[in-house]
A and B are shown apart, each in its own frame.
Chain A
Amino acid sequence: MQRRLVFLSAMTFLLPVVAGVHLFLGFRSTDLPQLLFAFAGSDAQSFEEAVLLYQRVPRTLIALYVGGVTAVCGFVLQSLVRNPLASPTTLGVNAGAALFLVAGVLLFNLDTKLQGAAALVGALSGFLASLAVAKAAGRRNDPRGLSLILSGALVTMFFTGLTNALLLSDPARRSDLLSWIVGTINHAYADRLALFWWVGVIAILMLLVLARPLTLILFGAEKAASTGVNVPIVSGLAILAAVLGAGSAVAICGPIGFVGLVVPHIVRPLVGNNLRISLPAAFLTGAMVCIMADLIGREALYPFSLSTGLVTDLVGGVVFILIIKRFYLSSGAQQGVA
């Protein structure tokens, strides 16, 4: 109990600090006191204030939303699929959302609002496609769900391939989508955040409401059923919420990979599996990780700026390797790996 509280309060303290660095890094220190007052007024008085209000603030908010929502969704997916490698990235959710959004833009000229809907449908179809492929390739001796993750990787490659082919077919509009498709947190996507934020909020609220029965399900479906939990409905709703929440994050700034995979592995050992506590912890940690990734992408290779998706892919991929090594290839885990 002690450790959980320490972690939660540390995160609640650290998140504003990191967000503050993200907001104010790069301004002259003499300007800072005045910039703090910029939030009070409604309009920007100077160039610096305009940068802060119209570029930095939207960017921080997008990173906060995307990181938090993706991490929570990844946590729920990992718990329910019972697989340490499950996440929106590895189960085809992100790739599906990206494919449907790009197809919607290029083939049907959807406006921004409908693009979000397309991304949500795509997220769901990516997830279902991964399940279907895993079932088709189903191995009887696969207790650790490796074939599901492999199917997710295959679906991701296929959808990404289709997305790239679609993009190549329309060079004129390709450049508009090119920075989106690699996952970029950019103030230009603020209007998308304004349109889609409610999806993630509803998803998280729903998951918090379901947190108690979900935690019971983690102890075993039979045990949960014996305490009166309707297991199929609760897990179905939770997975739906998680997939749609992750899809809404993709709709805003493109696929930011691996946050949903990495953050649960940071949070779980420290906070445990009680979702009522670990979901908020995952939200805070995910938001912080994403803001930090954006900060690194912005500042590390100055004057070049990297897209946030690239940073998370790079770091997340390494963690992905470590997880495979720890859970599937260490000597204790050998039994049953087919």
Chain B
Amino acid sequence: MIRRGTATDGLGILRFKNGFQIKISNLFAGLGLAMAAVLLAVYSLQIGLTKTGISDFLAIFVGAELSDAKVYALIDVRLPRILVGFMVGWAVALSGAVLQSLARNPLADPGLFGFSQGSMIMIMLLLIVVPLAPKSLVALAAVAGGLCVAGLLLWLVGGGRSSGLAIVLMGIAVETVLSSFGTLLILYLPPETSLALSEWLAGSLFQANWSLIAAFLPLHGHLVSGILIAGRLLPAYDLGNEMAMALGEPVARSQPLLLLFAVVLSAAAVTAVGPLMFLGILAPHIAAFLSPATGRARLVLSGLTGGILVVAADTLTRGVAVGLPMPLGLSLTIIGVPLFIIALRLQALRKFQSH
């Protein structure tokens, strides 16, 4: 049923009978990350003004009576926050990982490329026209906005030459224009919407609740199939479009699909918490640092890392800065920039060695 073998690079690998195979190191990294995620969630449950934690949480299932404040803190505030945080981190990290393979650019990120801002703008335009739009329409608008920006960026950069720093700068420029346009749009929103939106614009988990999770969950189900398909394709794309074609990949058909997949992921995250920068770069890089992987394993590991990063950032801001309403997007930027610079430095060093 399961055979243990050795991959071409001499590392251990597990081969299943149906052809599925996974590197042992990746398997362990994945299990370790999943464990870390659970531990982090347990710790995060304890952080906050109300004194309660995992023991109280488990007690609820046994049937113990708890004070309302504790139940409220655990079930209505902290648990949704952790779950939404994890799902959003997972989605953005996957989006980044897919984009990086597509653009063959290790610095690709849905936030930095302006996709999330595009989604945000489209949502705002929708809310101006239809103030009480249902959640599904909002999500659709987010996808449309992300796609518009992706198309714009492709047109500006011009098809094939998408590698290098120029596209990153172009993304940042598009992002700048869109975000100042967003600030302008806020003027036209009804006051109560614009107040909620300005928090949303900063990327925050304040409004995490169970209905949001319910809206987000079906999408997450689709993600699993997306990972299975995208994960098979991406290694070919990592070699470049010509090589992918030579390997028998129908680039003309699968490339737009992959781009759509990445945009949908980032749009879903924007609908839930707002635009997050740098996460899409950080998570795949950290995952690759922990355990180098390709294909599906890379996607799963990146997603896990992304989820952990968001929950950790949220826990950190809640634990360290008590009473300071720091939006998630802000703490991710402050953590993200130095790590991004380190990634640039490492990349430069690697180039230096290879020359």
Interface residues of A, Cβ cutoff 8 Å to B: 85, 133, 136-141, 146-147, 149-151, 153-155, 157-158, 161-162, 164-165, 168-169, 182, 301, 304, 306, 310, 313-314, 317-318, 320-321, 324-325, 328-329, 334, 337-338
Contact of A329 among B158, B187, B347 (CB under 8 A): B158
A145 CB, nearest partner CB in chain B, Å: 10
B355 contacts A by Cβ under 8 Å? yes
Say yes or no: A168-B344 contact (C-beta < 8 A), given A146-B169, A321-B173, A338-B164.
no
Contact between A158 and B177 (Cβ–Cβ < 8 Å)?
no
Contact between B337 and A321 (Cβ–Cβ < 8 Å)?
no
B184 contacts A by Cβ under 8 Å? yes
Residue of A nearest to B180 (CB): A313
Contact between A314 and B184 (Cβ–Cβ < 8 Å)?
yes
Instruction: Write out the residue numbers on chain A whose beta carbons fall within 8 Å of the beta carbon of B338.
Output: 158
Contact between A337 and B166 (Cβ–Cβ < 8 Å)?
yes
Contact of A337 among B164, B184, B277, B326 (CB under 8 A): B164
A–B pairs, 5, beta carbons within 8 Å: A137-B341, A137-B347, A158-B334, A324-B166, A337-B166
Instruction: Write out the residue numbers on chain A whose beta carbons fall within 8 Å of the beta carbon of B347.
Output: 137
Chain B 328-341 interface 0/1 with A at a Cβ cutoff of 8 Å (1 = within): 00110110011011
B165 contacts A by Cβ under 8 Å? yes
Residue of B nearest to A89 (CB): B176
Contact between B156 and A329 (Cβ–Cβ < 8 Å)?
yes
What's the Cα separation between A306 and B187 when bound, in Å?
9
B161 contacts A by Cβ under 8 Å? yes
What's the Cα separation between A122 and B266 when bound, in Å?
35
Residue of A nearest to B277 (CB): A157
B183 contacts A by Cβ under 8 Å? yes
What's the Cα separation between A217 and B331 when bound, in Å?
43
A306 CB, nearest partner CB in chain B, Å: 7
Contact between A325 and B180 (Cβ–Cβ < 8 Å)?
no
Contact between B172 and A136 (Cβ–Cβ < 8 Å)?
no
Instruction: Write out the residue numbers on chain B whose beta carbons fall within 8 Å of the beta carbon of A139.
Output: 348, 351
B345 contacts A by Cβ under 8 Å? yes
Contact between A329 and B333 (Cβ–Cβ < 8 Å)?
no
What's the Cα separation between A318 and B181 when bound, in Å?
11
What's the Cα separation between A22 and B165 when bound, in Å?
41
B206 CB, nearest partner CB in chain A, Å: 13
B125 contacts A by Cβ under 8 Å? no
Instruction: Write out the residue numbers on chain A whose beta carbons fall within 8 Å of the beta carbon of B324.
Output: 165, 168-169
Residues of B314-328 whose CB lies within 8 A of A? 321, 324-327
Say yes or no: A313-B176 contact (C-beta < 8 A), given A158-B333, A169-B324, A329-B156.
yes
A-B interface, 3 closest residue pairs, ranked by CB to CB distance from nearest: A317-B177, A137-B344, A158-B337
A152 CB, nearest partner CB in chain B, Å: 10
Instruction: Write out the residue numbers on chain A whose beta carbons fall within 8 Å of the beta carbon of B325.
Output: 168
Instruction: Write out the residue numbers on chain B whose beta carbons fall within 8 Å of the beta carbon of A324.
Output: 166, 169-170, 173
Instruction: Write out the residue numbers on chain A whose beta carbons fall within 8 Å of the beta carbon of B213.
Output: none
What's the Cα separation between A85 and B165 when bound, in Å?
13
A205 CB, nearest partner CB in chain B, Å: 33
Contact between B174 and A165 (Cβ–Cβ < 8 Å)?
no
Instruction: Write out the residue numbers on chain B whose beta carbons fall within 8 Å of the beta carbon of A321.
Output: 156, 170, 173-174, 177
Contact between B341 and A329 (Cβ–Cβ < 8 Å)?
no
What's the Cα separation between A146 and B348 when bound, in Å?
14
Say yes or no: A154-B334 contact (C-beta < 8 A), given A149-B169, A169-B324, A329-B156.
no
Instruction: Write out the residue numbers on chain A whose beta carbons fall within 8 Å of the beta carbon of B333.
Output: 157-158, 161
What's the Cα separation between A335 and B229 when bound, in Å?
36
Contact of B161 among A133, A150, A168, A329 (CB under 8 A): A329
Contact between B161 and A334 (Cβ–Cβ < 8 Å)?
yes
What's the Cα separation between A141 and B355 when bound, in Å?
11
A218 CB, nearest partner CB in chain B, Å: 24
Contact between B330 and A161 (Cβ–Cβ < 8 Å)?
yes
B157 contacts A by Cβ under 8 Å? yes
Residue of B nearest to A182 (CB): B183
Q: Which of A141, A165, A310 has the most CB of B within 10 A?
A: A165
Contact between A168 and B341 (Cβ–Cβ < 8 Å)?
no
Chain B 287-328 interface 0/1 with A at a Cβ cutoff of 8 Å (1 = within): 000000000000000000000000000000000010011110
Say yes or no: A133-B341 contact (C-beta < 8 A), given A150-B168, A168-B326, A321-B173.
yes
Instruction: Write out the residue numbers on chain A whose beta carbons fall within 8 Å of the beta carbon of B352.
Output: 140
Instruction: Write out the residue numbers on chain A whose beta carbons fall within 8 Å of the beta carbon of B202.
Output: 164
What's the Cα separation between A168 and B334 when bound, in Å?
14
What's the Cα separation between A149 and B180 when bound, in Å?
20
Say yes or no: A150-B169 contact (C-beta < 8 A), given A165-B326, A313-B180.
yes
Contact between B337 and A310 (Cβ–Cβ < 8 Å)?
no
What's the Cα separation between A301 and B172 when bound, in Å?
27
What's the Cα separation between A262 and B170 when bound, in Å?
16
B306 CB, nearest partner CB in chain A, Å: 19
Contact between B170 and A153 (Cβ–Cβ < 8 Å)?
no
A169 CB, nearest partner CB in chain B, Å: 5
